Amino acid sequence: MNTHAKGVLGTLLVTGLGFCLLASCGKGSPGDGSHTESAQSQKRRARQVAEAWEGSASASIWNKGYYPMGDVVQGPPSGWHSQADKRAFEAKNYVLSGKLPTAGAQQGKVSWKNGDALDRPLSSAQAAYDSLALNNTKGPHLTVTGARLGEATIVTSRGEAKVPAWLFTLHGYDEPLKRLAVSPSRLPKSPIKQLGQGESGGLRSLAGLADMPNDGRFVTVVATHGSCDDGPVVKAFETDQSVVLYAAVVGEREGPCNASMAEQRVKVELREPVADRILIDALTGRPIPYADRNGSSPSWT
């Protein structure tokens, strides 16, 4: 499986002891043992996860639900007029100038290309605004002048779908900012338990999905690594129903590690397009959520 690491997304400070436990640095770490043995152990875990999900009640719930795999907030299609506006969007800095709708439908319909549809609770315009406008500080900001209910297109776990969305008008823009107006379905419980510290065989959890093209044979995920290794590597175990991604690091070295952990985008090539197969993290045994590139919470938890 070919992987290509691209760009460090950010750095998270942790305690030195906690980092060494997580990063498997130095002697006595969970990643000890030959490289071949670790690779076999990791692939074996990925196979176990795939087998646990296949035909399970959890898989049935997943296949009937709505789980967005892209940004739930979409800026104007033609882009931002200035770097200041772009920074305001990334900082979620907004000012409300005008009134938002106060009444509307209680349910919204998610519609897929194959004709499937699902009703989901519809958020109010105010709740949608509050979820995207997390800051109201001095400096660059975007001014919202109103909103109306419309729709947006987003990639989901079941393919591309049209989803109800609040369309917010912005001062100075002809095109609206869109915020999806329905909440994701509740996640099913994983049919396999997460591996504990010391039994992971060098596996690491993934921070999230960064990109999943509609019909592409590549997915990009956010993986972690530390200062005592040469970076992350992510491989895939594929079945007809799932793609289990298993992440580790290469080039681990003995010695002191500083208290930092870097997040890095890793592009993973698959044998076949993801389509409607479930993407699962081998370490946790749970579906991999989409991770906002600006550091927000995943689109579902």
Domain ranges of the chain: 3-63+188-281, 71-180
The secondary element (H helix, E strand) that includes residue 170 is strand 159-170
Rounded to whole angstroms, how far apart are CA atoms 211 and 222? 9
Q: How far is CA 128 from the centre of its chain?
A: 20
Question: In the prediction, which pLDDT does 264 show?
Answer: 87
Region 201-207 average pLDDT: 84
Residue 68 has pLDDT above 60, yes or no: yes
pTM beyond 0.85: the answer is: no
Q: Compare 254 and 24 and report the one with higher pLDDT.
A: 254
Q: Which of 298, 218, 277 is nearest to 62 (CA)?
A: 277
Rounded to whole angstroms, how far apart are CA atoms 244 and 281? 6
pLDDT digits (tens, 9 = 90+) for 94-105: 999 989 998 777
Rounded to whole angstroms, how far apart are CA atoms 278 and 165? 25
The percentage of residues in the chain with a pLDDT greater than 70, rounded to a whole number, is: 82
- Whether 210 and 222 have beta carbons less than 8 Å apart is answered as yes
**What is the DSSP code (8-state) at residue 105?**
-
For residue 25, name the pLDDT band (cuts at 50, 70, 90). very low
Question: In the prediction, which pLDDT does 259 show?
Answer: 63
Region 214-229 average pLDDT: 80
Q: Compare 117 and 251 and report the one with higher pLDDT.
A: 117
For residue 1, name the pLDDT band (cuts at 50, 70, 90). very low
The secondary element (H helix, E strand) that includes residue 88 is helix 83-91
Q: Which range is least confidently modeled, 33-42, 91-100, 121-130, 177-186? A: 33-42
Residue 236 has pLDDT above 90, yes or no: yes
Q: Give me the long-range contacts of 198-201 (CB less than 8 A, separation at least 24).
A: 198/30, 199/30, 200/30, 200/45, 200/283, 201/30, 201/31, 201/33, 201/38, 201/41, 201/42, 201/45
The letter for the amino acid at 133 is: A
For residue 225, name the pLDDT band (cuts at 50, 70, 90). confident
- For strands 278-281 and 242-249, give the pairing: parallel
